Structures are given as C-alpha cells and as structure tokens.
C-alpha cells in the first residue's frame, strides 16, 4: 500500500503524518511509501508519475487548500484534486480530513467515491481512531482475495466490496445521506441511502425505516419485541409493517431460492 497526504497546514500535516506512521508501526502494515505535501500540484504530479498500479493507493486530502499561484485558500480545492486522482486511478481509496464535512453530500458532482470524511474538529481520540480505521480497512482489503459471492456497491459516494455472508445489516446515521454497514467483524460508514442498497441484492430487505437486513443471516424473528436476532449475537429492529416481507425473504434464503 502507498499512502498520500495533502494538507497545507504544516502543523496539522505533521500531526496526521505522525498518526499514520504510528499506525503503520503498531499494526505492522506493509506501506511502501508515505508521501506528504501541502501542494495540490505536487500531489497530482506525483500521482501521474506512478507507473506501477499494483499497490493499493490511499489518499488523505483536506478540502480547503491554498492555490499554488495566488496562495489564496480555495474551499473546494481538495474535491478537485480528488476528482483528478479518481481519473488517474479509479480504485484509489480517498479519505477527506477536513473541517468542511458539510460538503460530503456534494461529492457526487465530483465523482470521487470517498471512503470516509474525518472531521478535524472532534476529540483527538476519535480523530486518531478514524484515521487508523481507514488505514487498517484499506490494508485488509488489499490482502483479501475477493470471493465469488461478494457485495459490491458503487455509487458517486462510495465503493464497497465485502463478502456477502459477512453482512448482517445496514443502518442510517444521523448525518444526512450516510449509512453504516455492520458485518461479522467490522463497521463501515459510507455515503448512500437504504433504498439503493435494498435494491442492489434480493437477499437484502427493509426491516425497519432505518434498517436493511441480510435475510440469509437472520437466526430468529422475535415478533413480540420487534427484533431480529442475527448471527454472531447481533440484533436489529423489526417493524410490524415489514414483518411479512422479512419472513418471506428469510424463507426464500432458507429454501436456497435466493
């Protein structure tokens, strides 16, 4: 894996770089290069010089970056850089580290498929945890052999690949247009909506206004308490209006129809 960092504030860049280096050492992650810069032009030129597209590329980008000529701060410069990166490498993992997470919903216009938005203005512990989580996720993805039965969901906001059998459910988050996928061993947040997700595979069914469940991983339907018991001890809500559809979908899974 190669990691690229674009942040024009020297102190913040050093801080983020230290977290990345610490994560690499503590978790023994194979990173062949860590490139950091405050110049959008320098980063793009570095990406263009890449002749070997073998290693997974992970980019941490600030949204507000100084223009190379005028030195004025450009609010969406990081989005423009991400768009250029995506044209050069459609499989790159892009993470925005910014105080402008309100721009997350408009990334569809730039077609960058951001893996995550990490807010700078949060607790230091949460900030480091989210940075580390992105690095670990990309590192694990690089090592995995993609199985035949995989959930692959690609939108303007995200590009996710996960073994379908690992998926338990999806839930909406408080932040607009953001959902979380809960698997047997991880939780991943990305930008999309439950309607699109449900339509992506017949094994996925809406069980509640805020949840879409993998019907093939339902262990028990607790009708009295409005809860679905899933494998690995996980649970999610079940509304009465969705009960019939969930029962039918689970039966289809059990019969091997889906």
2-143 carries CATH number 3.40.50.2300: yes
Phi, psi torsion values for 212, nearest 5 degrees: -125, 130
164-254, what's its fold?
A: OB fold (Dihydrolipoamide Acetyltransferase, E2P) (2.40.50)
What is residue 20's predicted lDDT score, i.e. its pLDDT?
A: 95
Q: Taking 70 as the threshold, does the pLDDT of residue 222 lie above it? A: yes
Q: Map out the domains of the chain as residue ranges.
A: 2-143, 164-254
The Cβ of residue 138 has, within 10 Å, a number of other Cβ atoms equal to 19
Q: Is the pTM of this model over 0.75?
A: no
pLDDT reported for residue 36: 95
Q: Is the pLDDT of residue 104 over 80?
A: no
Q: How far is CA 8 from CA 61, 116, 134, 221, in A?
A: 10, 20, 21, 52
Judge whether 77 and 64 are in contact, CB under 8 Å: yes
CB count within 10 Å of CB 81 equals 24
Is the pLDDT reported for residue 159 higher than 90? no
Q: Is the dihedral of CA 40, 157, 94, 101 positive or negative?
A: positive
Distance in Å from the first CA to the final CA of the chain: 36
- In this model, does residue 106 exceed pLDDT 70? no
Please compute the mean of the pLDDT values over residues 179-205 and round it to a whole number.
Answer: 88
| Mean pLDDT value across residues 171-199 | 87
Q: Taking all residues of the chain, what is their mean pLDDT, rounded to a whole number?
A: 84
């Amino acid at each position: 894996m190669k990691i690229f960092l674009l942040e024009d504030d020297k102190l913040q860049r050093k801080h983020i770089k230290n977290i990345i280096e610490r994560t690499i050492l503590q978790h023994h992650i194979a990173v062949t290069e860590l490139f950091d810069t405050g110049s959008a032009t320098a980063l793009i030129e570095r990406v263009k010089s890449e002749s070997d597209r073998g290693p997974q590329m992970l980019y941490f980008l600030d949204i507000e970056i100084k223009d190379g000529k005028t030195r004025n701060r450009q609010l969406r410069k990081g989005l423009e850089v991400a768009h250029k990166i995506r044209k050069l490498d459609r499989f790159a993992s892009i993470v925005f580290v910014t105080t402008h997470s309100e721009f997350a919903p408009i990334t569809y216009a730039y077609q960058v498929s951001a893996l995550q938005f990490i807010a700078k203005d949060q607790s230091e512990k949460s900030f480091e945890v989210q940075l580390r989580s992105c690095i670990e996720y990309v590192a694990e993805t690089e090592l995995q052999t993609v199985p035949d039965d995989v959930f692959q969901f690609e939108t303007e906001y995200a590009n996710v690949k996960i073994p379908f059998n690992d998926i338990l459910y999806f839930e909406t988050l408080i932040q607009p247009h953001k959902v979380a996928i809960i698997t047997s061993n991880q939780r991943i947040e990305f930008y999309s909506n439950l309607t699109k997700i449900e339509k992506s595979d017949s094994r996925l069914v809406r069980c509640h206004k805020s949840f879409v469940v993998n019907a093939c991983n339902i262990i028990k339907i607790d009708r009295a308490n409005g809860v679905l018991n899933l494998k690995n001890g996980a649970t999610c809500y079940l509304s009465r209006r969705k009960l019939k559809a969930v029962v039918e979908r689970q039966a289809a899974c059990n019969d091997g129809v889906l």
